[in-house]
Structure 1
């Protein structure tokens, strides 16, 4: 059975998607604080006669549409949270919240899924089984909203799940994915070094926590180059080092934060062990005390082969072979991985970059923006994917 897609209906909805996205961009909320965003989503779903559950695993919202005929339960997911970054864009929809902005496209994900929910609310006769719209909080911050929503039962009865990420490194109009591993597992480490502070002119009676931290950072950089198989992919990055107050004071304390990214579980465990050993022994060598907090974060995101093949077939039909590309493995992480551990599905990158419009800044950049036409591409793709999954066993 083939779906009778109404392009005119989606084009009509698209103007609202842009409005929603710009409202959400102006009013961002951080992870675990998405109360107003969740209310915004729930209000619109209810307006369209969609069954709504709120407070799912925190600020999560789930909308449900059931068809008149039996069939599969297909879930579509969008994330809603913003980042602690000051928006430096100059445009009428720039963030109005100091130090908070949508610098990763989650406002677009939310608006896209709202558009899809609106579309299917007008075409319930196309639904075989159930469509479940998952609006997830807290993707940006471990332990993440996905695992909490799963624990709250969001995947009960779900047969297949799809998600997209609007992705500016790919030009608008293109889509990309791959069967198997797509995005890496991401772990976090937090190191607190305690030395013995003192006068910068008499270092011999101190334990310089800045020196210890510097040595530790250099030693951590040997893990990938000397402990990991060169044919395996891994990253150890120190993103923050905080210490000291003045030029002539030897700092007593130094704090370091970083991340480790891997695809292979054995490599993931190896890196954790090496970080623990290097932290302990480096600090001991300098006579400093240390506390390490190592958090195992999101697992590797692994796409189901059959659902990725479905995506490739649908995307090629909709957009053409040249616009449907195979994504390389990448080191970003996504808690959509937790859904894919439990239910077959596919996570898809939808091109959102447009250099001519100045929309080429990387994700998590203060001037990040995306071509809003990408939301139309994403909505059209997910509408067809859901329909194909419902109608073709």
Structure 2
């Protein structure tokens, strides 16, 4: 039986898996039920399985009959702290948590891909590692990698697929180079001198200093950063004071930096210089901390050209989008892409009639289940072609 027909025969199971995961969402590092289902499923297929990597992650290893390279297929498992408003019959039964980013579909696609590939074990030259990653929304990939998932056997290449509501159903986005931005979260604490609002000359206002810092950083992005190097500094949280006539001691500012280029460190350094200069003018002190959300996701040129060919075979050349798909959103598949030749693919899932065109992380987000088979086919054919034509 050819691959497309085999996947078609597994469609009912594919959708059933997706709906079960959707109905039982679990947050990052809490994917205990999800991880157990995944691990048990892979073991039933005869794969070598490692459980509880990075707390809840799972890796299944399919060893082909013949020696060769190793390709990793990676998917994510975590849900979001969001109350669902889809009204689906399989709506989340875990109140306040929801699969609003497509990870439920990713899980189902990967499991069915593992089933199809395991049935072809005798013809595979090399190995397939199925990586089920926890906590993608807050950088779980690096922890798994630090626990050795790219070794024994050593991974030679990796791919990931993300269902994407920014593309029409049936289309796929495949492009080399920078695809998804790096993201760093920052916490800025501005320290002043509190006092009476009627005697501001006896105080040092952290609020006035903080406002100037926010304006200064926005002007930096506008006037100092090359417009051909997309950069965003956004502010998501500001907290200061308790009462209208009290000038507070401190002001807290939190936000993020996103860069679709590799010069994030230089942006952070300049950010620190501007804050320091404004702080001196206002006679405040400050502390500034950065936390990495995601590194820059950069698709390898050669690997992307290879995957592009496979994807064209699956969805049709006319449905492969190769430009204008990069976004300032983050994705920690970047941890794989900076270590091994990798490609990350967007698989369109937007169908207005089916109401699957809501943005990711929206309480009404849903996926077009008819595209799940395409994702399975891309996984399977990419792995087989990469290994057997090496």
| Same fold (TM > 0.5) | yes
Q: Which residue of 1 aligns with 2:141?
A: 146
Whole-Å Cα distance in 2 between the matches of residues 7 and 131 of structure 1? 19
Q: 1:308 aligns with which of 289, 304, 313?
A: 304
1:283 aligns with 2:297: no
Aligned residue pairs total 387
Q: Which moved more, 1:236-245 or 1:159-168?
A: 236-245
CA 1:367–1:208: 2 relative to 1, 3 Å? farther
Q: Shift of residue 281 of structure 1?
A: 2.7
Q: Which residue of 2 aligns with 1:271?
A: 267
CA 1:93–1:264: 2 relative to 1, 3 Å? same
**TM-score after normalising by structure 1:** 0.91
Q: Shift of residue 13 of structure 1?
A: 2.4
Whole-Å Cα distance in 2 between the matches of residues 128 and 14 of structure 1? 27
Specify every segment of 5 or more residues in structure 2 that has no aligned partner in the other structure, as ranges: none
Q: Shift of residue 172 of structure 1?
A: 0.8
Q: 1:381 aligns with which of 355, 373, 378?
A: 378
3-state DSSP class of the match of 1:351? strand
Whole-Å Cα distance in 2 between the matches of residues 259 and 136 of structure 1? 24
Q: 1:366 aligns with which of 358, 363, 387?
A: 363
Contact 1:223 1:271 in 2 (8 A): no
Q: Shift of residue 200 of structure 1?
A: 4.7
Contact 2:178 2:261 in 1 (8 A): no
CA 1:286–1:368: 2 relative to 1, 3 Å? farther
Q: Shift of residue 388 of structure 1?
A: 0.6
3-state DSSP class of the match of 2:274? helix
Q: Which residue of 2 aligns with 1:326?
A: 322
What RMSD, in angstroms, separates the aligned Cα atoms of the two structures?
Answer: 2.1
Specify every segment of 5 or more residues in structure 1 that has no aligned partner in the other structure, as ranges: none
**TM-score after normalising by structure 2:** 0.92
Whole-Å Cα distance in 2 between the matches of residues 40 and 169 of structure 1? 30
Contact 1:58 1:148 in 2 (8 A): no
3-state DSSP class of the match of 1:20? helix
CA 1:94–1:278: 2 relative to 1, 3 Å? farther
Whole-Å Cα distance in 2 between the matches of residues 205 and 131 of structure 1? 68
Q: Which moved more, 1:232-241 or 1:291-300?
A: 291-300
Whole-Å Cα distance in 2 between the matches of residues 215 and 97 of structure 1? 43
Q: Which residue of 2 aligns with 1:172?
A: 169
Q: Which moved more, 1:6-15 or 1:219-228?
A: 6-15
3-state DSSP class of the match of 1:221? helix
Q: 1:350 aligns with which of 329, 347, 355?
A: 347
Whole-Å Cα distance in 2 between the matches of residues 199 and 19 of structure 1? 63
3-state DSSP class of the match of 1:290? strand
Contact 1:182 1:327 in 2 (8 A): no
Q: Which residue of 1 aligns with 2:41?
A: 44
1:338 aligns with 2:335: yes
Whole-Å Cα distance in 2 between the matches of residues 54 and 129 of structure 1? 22
Q: Which residue of 2 aligns with 1:9?
A: 6
3-state DSSP class of the match of 1:294? strand
3-state DSSP class of the match of 2:104? helix
Q: Shift of residue 108 of structure 1?
A: 1.5
3-state DSSP class of the match of 1:335? coil
1:260 aligns with 2:257: yes
Q: Shift of residue 205 of structure 1?
A: 4.1
Q: Which residue of 2 aligns with 1:90?
A: 87
Q: Shift of residue 392 of structure 1?
A: 0.4
What is the CA deviation profile of residues 127-181 of structure 1, one whole-angstrom value per residue up to 9, with x for unaligned ones? 222111000112111xx22212222221122122111111100011000111222
